[in-house]
Structure 1
Amino acid sequence: MINWKGLSASYRLWRRRWFYPLVSVVVALSLCLSTPMPGKALDLLPLLLQGVQVLQLSNISDRQEVDLGKQMNQELQSSEVRLSRNPELVRYVEQIGQRLAANSDRPNLPYTFQVVEDDAINAFATLGGFVYVNTGLLKTADNEAELASVLAHEIGHITGRHLVKQMQQKALASGLATAAGLDRNQAVGIGVELALNRPRSRQDEFNADQRGLKTLTRAGYAPSGMVSFMQKLLKNGSGPTFLSTHPATSDRINALKNSINSLPSNGRYGLDNNTYKANIRALVRY
């Protein structure tokens, strides 16, 4: 038999516990929304009605960063880049990348290394451990240490959260960010645009170089690979994509040489040109 008296008492207790606090929150929101604010108004009502996820890039968590990176990866695959479906080639790059990632400043991120079918000499990174390298760059590198140096540099951008900072700056400059934060989909669009075409700041590039050099050395690779790859591209004279947006490359080379000279040890792994070229020829279409 149903105890109606007991159910009624339980309902009244639930109503007292949850109804009045809920009313208080609604009233508080109404007051906030109806009160004029100086400058840009914090318009929360449309966000509440539309269910928009708003992010504060200034204090984004690792989990949010990884989630954004995954969404950017989907956006890139659907419209911007053509990823290699060669499992052996992807596995080779992934093995090098994971060796470096384990020795980076943020080893706990779930790194993903992917190969882009593009003859341009280029590499880039987004958020949360996503790194991309073009087949054109793989063919240009003479050995595994040179390829690893590029991957380590891009990991340096991730560990330094350089793209996050640039996204925040661009959102503020474009008037897209409010006191509440930035719409998630807008953040993804800005991130993809900057990852592919971002103007490289001198400070970020030097920082990524130094972070990358430490990662490269910890992983046992020859640090000279980072210098030799940059020197090769400068001598090329064709204006490769990878360096065209990187400022003061000669200054960066000199800074790297000075840092390498001060290293307690100089690793030699990855300098076998013949083995690398044989592997790449077997995996990459020329």
Structure 2
Amino acid sequence: MNFWISRLRNLGKRWMYGAIATLVATGLIVSTPQPTQADISIIDLIFGGIQYIQLSNLSDDQEVDLGRQTDAALKRRGVRVYNQDAEVVNYVNNIGQRLAAESDRSDIPYTFQIVADDSINAFATSGGFVYVHTGLLRAADTEAELAGVMAHEIGHIVGRHSVNRMREIALANGIVGALGVSEDDLVNIGVQLALFLPNSRSAEYEADELGFENMGRAGYDQRGLISFMEKLSDGGVSPEFFSTHPDPDNRVDRLQSMYSESYQADATDGNNPEIYSSKMSGL
């Protein structure tokens, strides 16, 4: 028995080395293979259930699946989903789906969830997952303001900012090899990005631009994003949002310039604070 296991392992190694040679020849290796991955046999991969992903060639289905796994990991880390009031949950989801349908990446499924947390924050992960804190829902005064924040987060998904950051971090930490990056490593990185690591300035600017255009196409008054950002600039909200959404002053100036140059005149929805307050009464 031990003889055949040994033969299988040796044969598995020969298959793996051939596969790596093919990957090198076709230019799919995104960095120098790590010794620990180079020594893994096909038998080890089969029995260990290890899945590897090439971030340079990530499909939409793979990204959505990665988002689902990250979502599950976030909940294991203590992110609590709010579901006490179905009307509030449905209201927020309807806003998100309305925006997603008009986004530049409407061909993937989107999942919008409320996080039971009084801090004023929102974030997005890979594959169409958007999270809005109850504290932010209370801080917004109108549906247009909430739609602006949610459109901004959709902008991060459209720009694939989470996936790009995963690639950067994986390369910087030397965990990219011939087989790609393990799903477990990517999920761990995704959790860190969601909870602790802010987006780059360029990513925030791009998400602002994409979100601004998105909410206009969806019929929302684009001034909603500006007025919410002005709250950040004036220091009217708690610092949690600053940790993941830097440079409020510069962003307000850029958004105001964008509105002056290219606002959508027929986008006027979401400006009634009484209606919004009524929708949020369940909180």
- TM-score, normalised by the number of residues in structure 2: 0.85
What amino acid does structure 2 have at the position aligned with 1:270?
G
AA matched with 1:79: R
- C-alpha contact 1:67 1:128 (8 A) present in aligned 2: yes
Instruction: Decide which moves more: 236-245 or 143-152.
Output: 236-245
The alpha-carbon deviation at position 243 of structure 1 amounts to 2.3
Partner deviation per Cα, 1:18-58 (whole Å, 9 max, x = no partner): xxxxxxx86852655999x9873433414355231100112
Report runs of 4+ in structure 1 exceeding 6 Å deviation: none
Name the structure 2 match of 1:161: 160
SS at match of 2:123: strand
**1:20 maps to which residue?**
none
One-letter amino acid of the structure 2 residue matched with residue 54 of structure 1? Y
Q: Is 1:171–1:182's contact at 8 Å kept on the other side of the alignment?
A: yes
Q: Could you say which residue in structure 2 is the equivalent of 1:11? A: none
Q: 1:200 to 1:120 in 2, by over 3 A?
A: same
- Identical columns (%): 46
Query: Can you list the C-alpha shifts for 1:176-213, whole angstroms capped at 9, x where unaligned?
Result: 22121111111111101111112220110000000101
1:214-250 Cα offsets, whole Å, 9 max, x none, are 1100000000001100111222355431223323221
Task: Say if 1:114 and 1:132, in contact at 8 Å, map to a contact too.
Answer: yes
Which consecutive unaligned segments of at least 5 residues does structure 2 have?
Answer: 1-10, 25-31
Correspondence for 1:269: 269
Cα distance in 1 between the residues matched to 2:15 and 2:76 = 39
Would you say 1:63 and 2:61 are equivalent positions? yes
Whole-Å separation in 1 of the counterparts to 2:228 and 2:51: 42
Q: What's the RMSD between the two structures over aligned residues? A: 2.4
TM-score normalised according to structure 1 size: 0.84
- CA gap of 1:207–1:31, structure 2 versus 1, over 3 A, is closer
- The corresponding residue for 2:278 is 278
Shift of 1:175: 1.8
Q: In the comparison of the two structures, how many residue pairs are matched?
A: 259
DSSP 3-state at the match of 1:283: coil
Which residue in the other structure is 1:74 paired with?
72
Q: Name the structure 2 match of 1:109.
A: 108
Larger radius of gyration: 1
Cα distance change on mapping 1:33 and 1:212 into 2, 3 Å: closer
Point out where structure 1 has 5 or more consecutive residues left out of the alignment.
1-24
